[in-house]
Amino acid sequence: MRAFVTGGGGFIGGVLVRRLRERGDEVVVAVREPAAAAAQRLAHQGAQLLRSDLRDTTGLAESMRGADAVFHLAGAYRVGIAPSERRQMHDSNVGATERVLDAGIAAGVNRTVHVSTINVFGNTRGQIVDESYRRDLRDGFVSWYDETKFRAHEAAEARIRGGAPIVIVQPGGTYGPGDHSTVGAQLAQAHAGRLRYLALASVGLNFVHVEDVVEGILLAHDRGQPGRAYVLGGEIARLRDAISVAARLGGHGTPRLTVPTRLLRLATPVAPRLGRFLGLPPNLDEVIRASDRVTYWASDERARAELGYKPRGLEAGLADTFGDRLAA
């Protein structure tokens, strides 16, 4: 198979490129800067690099001709961004998605896998929803990331209604070796015994190992039904529970100190001006809205039933992440 991949230099995308190459697929990866270290790692795995910022639909379509599949993973993930960064995130998450999907259609690609997110469902308020769930837009969005990923998901659905052979996957909170996200950093600190306190740890995620996400992406391509969406999860839990597992695997206790959300709110006025000196994001209020007692919970039963998706649980996944050996 000849695969065209966007976002190959990212956390999930890098694993996808490796897996495609391991199974013998020819891989073309669109990269902004071929000389960058992340791009060169892909080249060393045998991927062909294509310089592209995903802004030229016609050029993308030409590059995709002859491809059997497109895997679209490119996008921006940050919560708590400054207003000045919103336009760039919108183009990265919505504009690029529209252009890549349209290019795949124009090139006559047999199948495109659009990698969306469970965040599209918004705050599920403790419910475990499925792919048929539709959020109440009157509630608004908890973050700019939340809104732009929702709009990108809508763009994919609109093209599906037009007959495009697109399959959507919606990963949960993805972790694993090489995860440099805020959640990933907290899990690593807990495992090392260096996490001193909990903050906004009530957020609920469907924790899924990056290798399982990539396996789900490949299964969606190989077995998925065009027009369908598939949640890719692992284990539903709150962040504090995942931190406890990571700490226990590392031989440490869970931090006893919890920073009250009301204290974090007191810092929101100074975050735009002093955030970079205090280690705070520019928009701390957005981080609180997206995390405090919010759940992003969705069932992956459809992927298990229709694709044969078999993710590992949280303990096994974190043990793999940190190189721990579980008792038999």
Kind and range of the H or E run holding 275? helix 271-278
The model's pLDDT over 130-165, given as tens digits with 9 standing for 90+, comes to 999 999 999 999 999 999 999 999 999 999 999 999
Is residue 324 over pLDDT 80?
no
CA distance readout (Å), 16 to 2, 57, 110: 14, 23, 19
Helical spans, DSSP H, in 111-202: 144-161, 182-192
Please report, for the chain, the start and end positions of each structural domain, with discontinuous segments joined by +. 2-175+207-234
User: From CA 215, how far away is CA 108, in angstroms rounded?
Assistant: 25
The model's pLDDT over 34-63, given as tens digits with 9 standing for 90+, comes to 999 999 999 999 999 999 999 999 999 999
Residue 129, strand partner residues: 298
Asked if 223 and 308 count as a contact pair (C-beta separation under 8 A), the reply is yes
Q: Model's pTM, two decimal places? A: 0.95
User: From CA 39, how far away is CA 34, in angstroms rounded?
Assistant: 5
Angle at 153 between CA 135 and CA 128, to 5 degrees: 40
The model's pLDDT over 243-290, given as tens digits with 9 standing for 90+, comes to 999 999 999 999 999 999 998 888 788 777 656 655 678 898 999 999
Q: What is the residue-wise DSSP string for 108-129?
A: T-SEEEEE--GGGG---TT--B
Is residue 88 over pLDDT 70?
yes
Indicate the class that CATH gives domain 2-175+207-234.
Answer: alpha beta
